[in-house]
Amino acid sequence: MSALEIQSAGPPPERHADRIVGQMLGHLAKQVAHLPDTVRAVVHNSKDGGPRAQRRMVSRLEEAGKVNGRKVIIAGAGPRPGKRGKYELRLVFWTGWDPTRDREIGPGDPVPDKPWIVLWIAVVSSEGNGRNRVAWTRYPLIFVSHHLASRAAQRLGVRTLSQLQTMIGNVAAAGLKLITDKDDLDAALKPPPAGWRIRLGDDATVVLQRYAEKTALLAVTVLD
């Protein structure tokens, strides 16, 4: 049985959940630290002259971004194909975040005891027309706090790395759904005082609040 797994009869005590969840988040942060470089490399090394080639690029991105056999890179919208290599592609992927240093956890970086996860939106756009100019930008959408992950262990039975990845993916899907429903990113980033409350499947609700220090949302907790 993996050491990175919560083992308890019934819901785990808070301190135990905090410690093991911190270790699991740190493990995942190390596994995905390469993703920004990987996305850039796949985009710049792919043939993208037409819609079919662009779809193959998306497949390569999703395959390159798998961790523990599961997708980390999600094609959120696109590609919006264009003629002669002109297109725009939006991706969602996640990496680790060190809240104490206020920075992303990159390859070789130290990992804190209570790391976070940050969900990024990446926009890949090509001018096309044979110019071979591909622009890549990204910005944070949702910061997933250690507190939320620990509460998921205590309230929702999240005990393994696989289950933790599923929860992170569900939070990412909730963020995309919020943007789609609002049809306006700025509106999505302005929740009411109690926060946005979005269902995660049939048995949980995630609470998303405005992250005061960033132009982004903060996933603060989950409710069963």
What pLDDT does residue 1 have? 37
Q: What is the pLDDT of residue 39?
A: 84
Q: What is the pTM of this model?
A: 0.85
Arithmetic mean of pLDDT, 143-155: 92
pLDDT at 118: 95
User: What pLDDT is stored for residue 195 in this prediction?
Assistant: 92
Q: Which residues of 193-209 are buried (b: 16+ CB within 10 A; e: fewer)?
A: eebbebebeeebebbbb
CA gap 224, 206 in Å, rounded? 9
Pick the most confident of 88-97, 102-111, 212-221. 102-111
Residues 91, 110: Cα–Cα separation, whole Å:
26
| pLDDT tops 90 at residue 116 | yes
Are 154 and 12 contacting, i.e. CB atoms less than 8 angstroms apart?
yes
